[in-house]
Amino acid sequence: MSHSLADGGKFLILGIPGPEVDSATRELIRTVRPSGFILFSRNLRSPEQFRALLDELRGLSPFPPFLAMDQEGGRVSRLRQIGNEPPSARDLRERGDSSLIRRHGTLIGQLFRLFGLNWNLAPVLDLGVDEEADNSLRNRCYGRSPDEVSRAASTFLEAMRAEGILSCGKHFPGYTFVRSDPHETLPSLDRTLLQLEAEEWKPFRELLPACDSLMVGHVLCPSLDPSGAPSSLSPAVVEGILRQKWGYSGVVVTDDLDMGAIAYHYSLPDAAELALRAGNDLLLVCHRPQLARETAERLARLPDSVLGPAERRIETLRGRLAAPLPFSSERFIDLDIQVARLRVETLSPERASEPTRDHAKRSPVETF
């Protein structure tokens, strides 16, 4: 039985190199036919350019593509490249006003629809127990306790959903208590199953019905999988816990397979195959799209017992993608002013006027 690149490409979400689609990328998209794309600040130069880029990506795809971005607020706000930076989850948590969190979700949803984005890889459902830990979560968590996170993230999710934008709860099984950054190395999560269920898993369990998708992070968790497989490549974690124990039937996406936690230990085709076999559906490849052909070829050869369920979940979610709204520069300016107002109302006037490029403890790889 022959397999085409597209048979494997449908499980990939690719980053693209720059603000325009070059000829090599255009040919890659036509042959691999990825399910969608993830956009970063490197892809943004102006509001008009960004909308044109997304329109071109949509036009190159034979089906409505997932057009994803990490727009959490604070330092993980890709759109700050062309506009104002919204407050972070921690800023909103400390302000303690749920109406501001709702406005934040609404504004993100409206900006996404204006540009033609349809999937926000947010919110973070990890706990902010240690803001100084080098675990990539600084300022990104909606609370220190499970109840805080669940309340705030639920408000954010509802507001985005009302605007038609898909959400993604992340990073299961949790970066909360790890002590190293998965962008650079593979962390170890030394928590027992009872500890996980009693604390950091509570927001995931409570918001499972509200999340359009879940993201699995890259951690070693000996209590969940003594084989030594990272959580994102672990059947015990993805299939065993999310699918079987929790009964989750939605889309599961890996954190970026180009992160150091995975890339320093596995080739991309190997990691992609293990991730799909583990029960993931969509695989993020944010920085090495040139490896997509080889990876798609590998995935296309997997048995239908692996590919079939993932494809069905992907297509179910694809059917809910929102269409873009007509673009207007004036509308963008209006929304951007509202983002600035939200920032001022959330922060003190002094902090709101500070430069928003917070590079302190910023991971060297631009993906979360």
270 is known as an active-site residue:
no
How far apart are the two ends of the chain, measured CA to CA in Å? 38
Shortest CA distance to 109 belongs to which of 29, 164, 172? 164
Active-site residue identified among 255, 256, 258, 281? 255
Active-site residue identified among 91, 126, 181, 183? 183
Evaluated on CA atoms 11, 184, 20, 293, the torsion sign reads negative
Residue 336 and residue 359: Cα distance in Å, rounded? Answer: 22
Q: Cα–Cα–Cα angle for 75, 79, 84, nearest 5°?
A: 75
Residue 21 and residue 336: Cα distance in Å, rounded? Answer: 26
183 is known as an active-site residue:
yes
Report the phi/psi class of residue 214: left, alpha or beta, with left for phi > 0 and alpha for psi in -120 to 50. beta
| 226: Cβ contacts below 8 Å, ≥ 6 apart | none
CB 142 within 8 A of CB 102: no
Active site residues: 183, 255
